[in-house]
Amino acid sequence: MFRNSATAFYERFVRPLLFSLDPEIAHYFAIACLDGASHLDLALQALKIFQPPLTSKTLFGLTFPNPIGLAAGLDKNGVALPAWAALGFGFIEIGTVTAKEQPGNPKPRLFRFPDQGALINRLGFNNDGADAIAERLCKLRASGRWPVVPVGINIGKSKVTPLAEAATDYAYSFRRLHPFADYVALNVSSPNTPGLRELQSREQLSILLRALQKENRAARKPLIVKIAPDLLPGELEKIVTACEENDVAGIIATNTTLDHSSIPAERDQEGGLSGAPLREKSTEFVRAIAARSAIPVIASGGIFDPESAREKFEAGAQLVQIYTGYIYRGPSLLREILTAL
């Protein structure tokens, strides 16, 4: 009864209100509300009505109260961690964070496609930078409001940094942020930073991973690699091999796609597509990695309901992340999925 009424309320009243706004303005409004709630005990308690049942899972030395996490991109600057935990996420991934603060690409840069259950973004790693976010997280930890669920920090290359200096750029972000991370995810697959996907080649990825594991000797944080869904089978094989050779703890499959075949040509936009059209391709990658390697897979892409979540687990995913599905379905989605599973 709760699930049906909460979902109906969101889809009938809240979503139309948010969708009446420019997508990026709606995003900032929602994040601002969750940021405010993160500082109020009463508000956090109220958000807990959406929490799903506990289905604890242990992976790479971390305990997850449930296997559904918040994907990177919704809370780039890590301003609302207590609220995400109160809403029932089993883990939270913030970012993508870059070594240098950057505004991202020119607006408009975020687009909705309700008929397809999709989003296209070309945000371009807009974030406050590693130093500012490390300071924010330090203050949150000192406040006593740090979430009890695992927190991942997703890091990427600053746009102004040449590709040849990518390892140094990532290493700086790692040094600043790893004290606050239960795991660190390396974003080498966003389509919105020029040249970034070149870091997915076996040679470039190996260089990056060796540099990060050198930084990681004392910290010993699980390193996760987030890959694109547009790789050819041979390219995926080389990435998995590089991950195996460099003690990667997990692979996130996948980032957004450049395949816009599901979007009407007259409405198409440049950028990475997420949401329901990505479901099948993401699942194929999960299945391919799980069949090839023992590295745990975190599935991301097209999870809107229990059926699409079950599909990811049956394909071999150990954990899943949601983003676009949460925007379309609302905060009762976690409970709906885990109750059904």
Task: Please spell the DSSP secondary structure of 243-286, one letter per residue.
Answer: HHHTT--EEEE---BS--TTS-GGG--SSEEEEGGGHHHHHHHH
Domain that holds residue 80: 2-340
The answer to whether 84 touches 92, Cβ cutoff 8 Å, is yes
Number of domains in the chain: 1
- Catalytic-role residue among 190, 282, 300, 332: 190
DSSP 14: I
Could you write out the DSSP letters of every residue in 135-184? HHHHHHHHHT---SS-EEEEE---TTS-GGGHHHHHHHHHHHHGGG-SEE
For residues 157 and 142, give the distance between their C-alpha atoms in angstroms, rounded to a whole number: 28
Phi, psi of 74 (to 5 degrees): -75, -40
Q: What pLDDT is recorded for position 4?
A: 61
CA-closest candidate to residue 199, choices 154, 167, 160: 167
Distance CA 10, CA 328 (A): 9
CATH of the domain at 120: 3.20.20.70
Mean pLDDT by 10 residues, the chain (341 residues): 72 96 98 98 97 96 98 98 98 98 98 98 98 98 98 98 98 98 98 97 98 97 98 97 98 98 98 98 98 98 98 98 98 97 91
Considering the entire predicted model, what is its pTM?
0.97
H/E stretch holding 44 reads: helix 41-47
38 flagged as catalytic: no
Backbone angle region of 316, left / alpha / beta, with phi > 0 → left and psi within -120 to 50 → alpha: left
Mutual orientation of helices 202-219 and 166-177 as an angle, nearest 10°?
30
* Both structure tokens of 332: 């009762």
84 closest CA partner among 126, 18, 128, 35: 35
CA distance 64 to 210: 28
